[in-house]
Structure 1
Amino acid sequence: MEKTTAVNTAFTLKQIIIIAILALLQFTVILDFIIISPLGDILMKTLDMTTSKFGFTVSAYAFSAGISGLLAAGFADKFDRKKLLIFFYTGFIIGTLFCALASNYWMLLFARIFTGLFGGVIGSVSLAIVTDLFVIQQRGRVMGSIQMAYAVSQILGIPLGLYFANNWGWHSAFIMIAVLGALILVAIITQMEPVTNHLKLQSDKSPFLHLWHTLQNKNYQIGFAAIAFLSVGGFMLQPFGSAFLVNNIHISHLQLPMVFFFTGLSVLIIMPLVGKLSDKVNKFKLFAVGSLVSVIMILIYTNLDPIPLWEVVAINMVLFMGIMSRMIPATTLNTAIPEMKDRGAYMSITSSLQQIAGGIAAVCAGFIVHQETKTSPLENYDVLGYVIAVITFCSVLLMWRVNQLAKSKEKSIL
């Protein structure tokens, strides 16, 4: 058994290329979504948006992504995963260009909906590819590498996007993402081989029947709920992050790139460590520790008064170390739940519910948080922190059940 494990956990050159492509792809998808938050204060002032309108702008992407993911779930295991990835990533790039061309609130809202329709499926297809091509003993490191895209988007993407926005207008940030996406699309087409092993296990069920049977599976439902709750905290906190820093903590727009740079740097440090630990220690315990750290830091962060820049940076770094150290063990545990024949559908549904839950969270955050004028401090941001803390503890309970299911499945295989 030891010998087999050692062979299985060594990456081949082809696998390394796949990891690099998926990481770059995730970089653009994540950056396209999270760039809205640092641009939030600029967008609210430029396009005359209230906090509730901005919440709808953020959630528009999430809701459309969730709906498209559900609609695509039944078909996700019926086609070559590479072809699906190319189709949806092309639509995502076009949607990002629409965002760059938006000149008012309604145009931006439509563009975000369009982008979400395609972007929402990319994550689930990528996860299905990872699950098909890598054994579970490798997936912690793979997830760590791919999810480092979040850190790189913070370190390079957001500061660069803010630099573009401060110098050439917020539209230029989306143009930058679209151009980079086009280059990555070429890499996917030329470097990735077809991913079709799952097609050998397909039944004659219709796509919608396949979706329905996947939704009905009791064990799968626990995984769906756990991931949905996991996403709520992040979606609730992020949309008004820049507005809170600018209007409550008195950080200038020129200082924002530094905050995001060092926050991303902390994630870049923690992700490989968590990825390796996730393959060696109990994944649930790792998730629970990360959850505790994130709750403590969220409560500190949402109750901040004006403090020096270095303190803001330090608190953000520890906060995101806690948040991101939850993601890898949670995602890895979740990939152990579905059977191979259901993986595409399962990942699509998981991604969809995650997006829909996040959309609801962003809308709720928009109603919880209030701002009297464009320059006045955000109100009730501390209440937001308390709500997120409760939801985080609920996600720990659900992830414990996922962990139990993963253990049972592993024992049955052995």
Structure 2
Amino acid sequence: MSSKAALFTSYEKFVIAMLAILQFTVILDFMVLSPLGALLMPKLGISTSQFGLVVSAYAISAGASGLLSAGFADKFDRKRMLLFFYAGFVAGTLCCGLAQSYPFLLGARVLTGIFGGVIGSISFAIIADLFPMEVRGRVMGYVQMAFAASQVLGIPVGLYLATALNWHAPFLMIVGLAVPIGIFIALKLRPVTAHLETRLDKNPFLHLWHTATNSFYLRGFAATMLLATGGFMLMPFSSAFLVNNVGIPETRLSVIFFVTGLSAFFFGPYLGKLSDRLGKYRLFVFGSLLSMVMVFVYTHLGPNPIWVILAVNTVLWVGISSRMISSSALTSGVPLMKDRGAYMGINSSLQQVSGGVASFVAGLIVYQPTQTAPLQHFDTVGYVTMGTMMVTIFMMYFIDRQVAERLAVAPQRQ
């Protein structure tokens, strides 16, 4: 392992921390909506399918925005792109916090998705620009801690505020966190412009077309679409499933999210190091197989003590984290630097659209006779999720081979 892998510079540590904190606010904005479902649906008087549309509205609008902006992603300084879309994300989240009706909330989620959905692709492009492949698993492990942090800190606090005050409070909390973060990024992050020296296409639409039709990139796009399906199908109805099927009181949901996220928070950096040491594809296979087993167990749960739910959720998140970290690091090696922003934008777009469709389809599969009745057909959603995980194991094998061949030919460009 290179000396760079053993020790990051102080600025590199700052970049990793900054991107992790930024991702925390963006991920929390999306993730906090799902556990609010048990409170929000009866409050606004909406059905499971309407709530599924609220969740998927963010993803679908994010997908459209990612695709439209992809052609311009390699044309500008990545720092400026990041600040522009983060400002729009904060504005959209503020609208969510001020929403008083279902149509307004739906529109606010669309606005938030237009800006928030592009931030992840810009962040991953920055990581790929600044860090070589042999340490990207470790970097992704730290950045992906944002998911765990949203579980440990954001969601429990958000749920507490929602129950103590109202469901608007979590979104206003995110705005309060995001504003100073944006100011800090503007002051401290250096310009990220190395990609401008290698970019060949001057026309952004031509650049988008060349990237979208590159045969080397198509496998990565296809895998991304399936990778997003599982989480987007399960997350929107997890809190309602725990409350109505498993018998967990709404007041104890924050405990489950806290303990689960705490374990994922500590496992993330270790899994990142493991992906660099043992191989990113090997970790992905392990995470996929573990996730498949635990999805089956989770979606077939009945009334159980809370310690059982904590154990199941913790192991499930270890599997999910293994998949997220390893796949993010591995697919970052697919595009060349000159195409990286466009590739990440298209990738994010496909991820959001496929995830949005998955959330909407899950809302059609899951049925709740009354607002307090157990959810029906949640196990069917689990079977679909397990099927997509099995297919991605084979798809990621070919991507792993492709990236290895690319690195052998031009390691400095990966």
Taking structure 1 as the reference length, the TM-score comes to 0.98
1:302 matched to 2:299? The reply is yes
Letter in 1 for 2:364: F
**Structure-1 residue corresponding to 2:255:** 258
1:28 matched to 2:22? The reply is no
- Residue 133 of structure 1 is aligned with which of 123, 130, 133? 130
CA–CA distance in 2 between the matches of 1:234 and 1:8? 31
Q: How does 1:13-412 map to 2 (within 5 A)?
A: 13-412=10-409
Aligned residues: 411
CA–CA distance in 2 between the matches of 1:192 and 1:106? 38
Moved more, 142-151 or 263-272: 263-272
Distance 1:301 1:205, change over 3 A: same
- Contact persistence 2:137–2:280 (CA under 8 A): no
1:17-43 deviation digits (Å, cap 9, x = unpaired): 111110000000000000011101111
CA–CA distance in 2 between the matches of 1:299 and 1:18? 38
- Contact persistence 1:295–1:389 (CA under 8 A): yes
CA–CA distance in 1 between the matches of 2:201 and 2:364? 46
Alpha-carbon offset, residue 345 of structure 1:
0.3
CA–CA distance in 2 between the matches of 1:396 and 1:143? 20
Distance 1:304 1:204, change over 3 A: closer
Alpha-carbon offset, residue 395 of structure 1:
1.1
Alpha-carbon offset, residue 273 of structure 1:
1.2
1:165-191 deviation digits (Å, cap 9, x = unpaired): 011101011000011000100110111
CA–CA distance in 2 between the matches of 1:354 and 1:323? 16
- Contact persistence 2:71–2:205 (CA under 8 A): yes
Alpha-carbon offset, residue 111 of structure 1:
0.3
- Contact persistence 1:73–1:211 (CA under 8 A): yes
Identity value in percent:
52
CA–CA distance in 2 between the matches of 1:134 and 1:283? 16
1:223-270 deviation digits (Å, cap 9, x = unpaired): 011121111001001000000001111111110000000110121122
**Structure-2 residue corresponding to 1:10:** 7
CA–CA distance in 1 between the matches of 2:123 and 2:6? 19
Letter in 2 for 1:339: L
CA RMSD of superposed structures (Å): 1.0
CA–CA distance in 1 between the matches of 2:325 and 2:340? 18
Letter in 1 for 2:214: N
CA–CA distance in 2 between the matches of 1:282 and 1:146? 19
Alpha-carbon offset, residue 204 of structure 1:
4.2
| Secondary structure of 2:236 counterpart | coil
CA–CA distance in 1 between the matches of 2:201 and 2:243? 56
| Secondary structure of 2:75 counterpart | coil
- Contact persistence 2:90–2:178 (CA under 8 A): yes
Unaligned runs of 5+ in 2: none
CA–CA distance in 1 between the matches of 2:223 and 2:26? 22
- Contact persistence 2:52–2:236 (CA under 8 A): yes
Alpha-carbon offset, residue 122 of structure 1:
0.2
1:62-110 deviation digits (Å, cap 9, x = unpaired): 0000000000000000000000000000000000000001111111100
Taking structure 2 as the reference length, the TM-score comes to 0.98
Unaligned runs of 5+ in 1: none
CA–CA distance in 2 between the matches of 1:397 and 1:255? 39
Letter in 1 for 2:151: Q
CA–CA distance in 2 between the matches of 1:157 and 1:349? 28
- Contact persistence 1:274–1:325 (CA under 8 A): yes
Distance 1:48 1:401, change over 3 A: same
- Contact persistence 1:9–1:137 (CA under 8 A): no
